[in-house]
A and B are shown apart, each in its own frame.
Chain A
């Protein structure tokens, strides 16, 4: 991602929208026995298109904003979302994926990683109460719901971030089309 005031403004706007929607709408919307976690998807989308440095910076900012506004212990969401953003960004940098349906898998993996890591940090912070096994069901349902929602969220994030991206994965995919097998002999096998 190109580091510019425009990029910061776009990412900031995306995070603010995600946090407000999450706290005021989606957290109160119980679907099956789980809920959608839009903030994780927003961080994963920025990391997917912007890379690991943008991913971990966005994760930190999103977690900070979320903890600040939800009244939770400050630093927990920042820590976990920083790791999620970095992980998704590194995946993108190492594997350079470009399949159109990949956001489904990335969204599911990011959400799964987030709920597991959040639970682990919460345990490390000495949660004194008993934990119901239903936490696992809640985590699985949230992961599945986020996987379903990942495609529109990633598409929206890509549209918002496209002017400030160094590399657009969908452009890369377009360039990777198989070379022409017909036409003049001299041009066969070349990308023309």
Chain B
């Protein structure tokens, strides 16, 4: 039955919630990083961090098991004892895979730090990823180290590559954007808001590395100038400042390998494609460079 009051209430509810959302969105964009909503968000993240840490640790074996579950599909018809044995082995395997995966990533990060050209004098703090942004438009992670571990906003973050044994040791993953006492938020280099001043080695061509939103294996180096770029060469942070007052990435942190140089694209858009060294699709462990090398040149980030 058509009831005018019900219709009115329904429309009013929709209007109120849409208006509230738009008001929050407008206020969030309008205020500075120290405004009410930003502070509220930091407080909420700090409050949620222990829950997320616990949930992340509890769910890690499930995540690791998920990829492995397909291989155990054929074990269905085995008898009870064997199933029990499989169950025990499955848990053990998940633990082993977790340890192996962590070890691989840590090995990559160590290899990265020992590489030639890597900025000396930095003090890396190793952290575990406890939460990840749920969509491709905001590419960020939360880590379990915060201000009490020496982590500060705008510090560079590194992640391991997919296969350190094959030389994929890793590279720049992003920057710290907000810090609580026991956790921090890291905006990845695949986030739409980020841009890193970079240089192709050894040609010396410079440009700004930006993401191709939705494809974590593809980065774009834009405004390329100052030298000829060939495929498979390394791109690292240049240490140049590209925005006033911003100083984030020290010179020499590897970002990626030039994967595609299309002459038309270079001429029209001054743009080349990179494949990031850091495996940004599955990061479990990262390193935050908490100390800036003395006298290092710095690079800036394009703000959203």
Q: Using a CB–CB distance below 8 Å, which chain A residues touch chain B?
A: 20-31, 35, 37, 39, 52-53, 56-57, 59-60, 63-64, 66-76, 78-79, 82-83, 86, 115, 118-119, 122, 125, 127-135, 138
- Within the complex, the shortest CB–CB distance from A124 to chain B, in Å, comes to 10
User: Given contacts A24-B59, A25-B55, A130-B210, are A71 and B14 in contact (CB under 8 A)?
Assistant: no
Contact partner of A69 (CB less than 8 A), chosen from B24, B29, B48, B178, is B48
Q: Per-residue CB proximity of B4-36 to A under 8 Å, as 1/0?
A: 000001100110011011111111110000000
Most buried by A among B10, B18, B134, B142: B134
Contact A71 B133 (CB under 8 A): yes
Min CB–CB distance B50 → chain A (angstroms): 11
Assess whether B45 is interfacial by the CB under 8 Å rule: yes
The distance in angstroms between the C-alpha atoms of A1 and B205, with both chains bound, is 63
Q: Are the C-beta atoms of A82 and B132 separated by less than 8 Å?
A: no
B62 touches A25 (CB 8 A): yes
CB contacts (< 8 Å) of A53 on chain B: these are: 9-10, 13
Complex alpha-carbon distance, A122 and B304, angstroms: 12
Cα distance A133–B10 in the bound complex, in angstroms: 38
Interface pairs (24), CB distance under 8 Å: A20-B51, A21-B59, A23-B55, A25-B59, A27-B132, A30-B282, A57-B13, A68-B41, A69-B45, A71-B41, A71-B142, A71-B177, A73-B25, A74-B41, A78-B25, A79-B22, A127-B192, A127-B213, A128-B193, A128-B304, A130-B213, A130-B220, A131-B214, A135-B213
Contact B28 A73 (CB under 8 A): yes
| B129 contacts the other chain (CB 8 A) | yes
CB of B211 within 8 A of CB of A28, answer no
State whether the Cβ of B238 lies closer than 8 Å to any Cβ in chain A. no
Residues in B190-220 with C-beta less than 8 Å from chain A = 192-193, 210-215, 218, 220
Q: How far is the CA of A125 from the CA of B78 in the complex (A)?
A: 55
Min C-beta distance of A113 to chain B, whole Å: 14
- Knowing A53-B9, A127-B213, A129-B192, the reply to whether A68 touches B40 (Cβ < 8 A) is yes
